[in-house]
Structures are given as structure tokens and as C-alpha cells.
Amino acid sequence: MKRRTVLALGLLGIPLRGIAQANAHVSTTDPLVYALTKGKVVNAGRVKLELPKIADTGYSVPMTVRVESPMTPANYVRALHLIAEKNPIRDMASYQGKLLGIPYRVTASILHYQKPLLAEVGFAKAPESWDEFLKALVATTKAGAPNRYGLGIWGRQGPAMTGGFVPFLRGNGGRYFDPKTWEIDINKPDAVEALQFYGDLMTKYKVVVPDAISRG
């Protein structure tokens, strides 16, 4: 976490708040917070989150959550939710029957290309649109046939079947869901068009090695 606001909600009788930064603010109208608190007032105190302000590794830090509670049969911590407001996945961890987890990895995709191969088929620079991208793939595949394809993609290696699709989805203006409302967007036109194009690269235009769907 790089200076991200983190909220620890300890649900006793009344939701409590612990903050990693003194000026953090809990919005009870936030859909995720409201779903956890059921609209109850969020009070400061009794929950303490201990973690560094900056992650030396850039992605993870050790942390400790402490709750002031007698932990008796009548008065105990029923649930604990850790929310990172700036994370793509904000509900990072929970306790006692709730979701427990944290994003274990973040990756960034790039377009890696070989200038000499593009130059051989008449492209002086990298493609800057989907049309240029497709034309370059078709041309380089044709020039290298039958031993070379224009595009290499992730195949069935780990989460690659969805992860490899993300640059096409986001590049076309689509997304899986709205992070604010949790509304599903993967079935909307921009996303559907991106998926169709992604599949056509192999099935229609044949610019991707067929083995890509069976191995990484």
C-alpha cells in the first residue's frame, strides 16, 4: 500500500473505526461501507490498525489490527473488515465467516514489438489504433507463414484467459464492473465488441498461434 487510506471496521454492537491515517474519513453513504454497517453510525476508536505508511516492496506490508474488546460471550468482536479505499479491490480482508483475502499480484501489460519485422511489411511505427493493429498482425503473419504468427498472447496459464483479455477490454473502453456501484459491465457493447475482436484474432484472422489456447 502506497499511502492508501485503509479503514478497519470492527463490528461489535456499533461499528467502530480504526485508521491508518489520522485524517481518513469514513463515508457511510459509500455502497461498500453501507453494506457492511447497514447504515449504522461509524464511530472512531477501539480499533487500531498498525502498518507502515509506504510499502518498501511497492505492493505489500505486514500489518496488525488490534481491537479493544473484553471478548466475553456477551461482548465480543463479531466481524472485522479491512477496506483500502484506493485499491481496485477495496474489501481486502474480513473475519469470522466473511471474505478473507488480499490481491496477491498486480501486473501491467505492454505491447512488445520488433521494429524490423514491422518495417519489412511497411509499418514505420507501432500501431496506434485497432485497425492498424489488425493490419500489422495480418501482414506479419502472412510474411512469416507458416512458421510465424503476428501476435503472441497469454494462453491457459493461470488467470491468463481473462488477464490477457484485459488490455483489449480496457483499450476499447470496456470494463468488468463499475467499482463504485458494482454494476456488471462486461456484457455492455464496448466489452462485447472487445471480446469478439479478441476471439476473431485467432478464429477469423488466424494471426495467433492455435496452441495459445492450450498452454501458456
Mean pLDDT for the stretch of residues 8-17: 37
Whether omega before 31 lies within 30 degrees of 0, making that bond cis, reads no
**Residue 179: band (very low, low, confident or very high) from pLDDT cuts 50, 70, 90:** confident
The last residue of a domain, from among 60, 95, 130: 95
Same domain, 91 and 129: no
* In-domain check, residue 108: no
Same domain, 69 and 145: no
Provide the 10 A C-beta neighbour count for residue 98: 14
**Nine-digit cell at 60?**
505489500
Strand pairing class (15-19; 43-44): parallel
The last residue of a domain, from among 61, 95, 129: 95
- Is the separation of the CB atoms in 18 and 48 below 8 Å? yes
- The helix/strand/coil state of 193 is helix
**What confidence tens digit (pLDDT) does each residue in 55-102 have?**
665 555 667 778 888 888 888 777 777 776 666 555 556 555 555 565
Same domain, 79 and 120: no
Q: Please report the pLDDT score of residue 124 as a whole number.
A: 94
Same domain, 132 and 67: no
Q: How far apart are CA 130 and CA 155, in angstroms?
A: 21
Same domain, 125 and 209: yes
91's enclosing H/E stretch is strand 91-95
The last residue of a domain, from among 95, 125, 145: 95
Mean of the per-residue pLDDT values of the chain = 76
* In-domain check, residue 106: no
Same domain, 42 and 125: no
**What confidence tens digit (pLDDT) does each residue in 145-171 have?**
999 999 988 766 656 667 788 899 999
* In-domain check, residue 65: yes
* In-domain check, residue 102: no
**Nine-digit cell at 64?**
496488525
- Is the separation of the CB atoms in 165 and 200 below 8 Å? no
Parent domain of 130: 115-213
pTM exceeding 0.85: no
Structural domain count, the chain: 2
**Nine-digit cell at 167?**
488490455
* Cα separation values, 106 from 1, 9, 63, 156, Å: 12, 25, 19, 18
* In-domain check, residue 101: no
* In-domain check, residue 44: yes
Same domain, 75 and 134: no
Same domain, 66 and 149: no
Q: Please report the pLDDT score of residue 140 as a whole number.
A: 96
CATH of the domain at 176: 3.40.190.10
**What confidence tens digit (pLDDT) does each residue in 99-118 have?**
556 566 667 788 899 999 99
What does the DSSP 8-state code read for residue 134? Answer: H
* In-domain check, residue 110: no
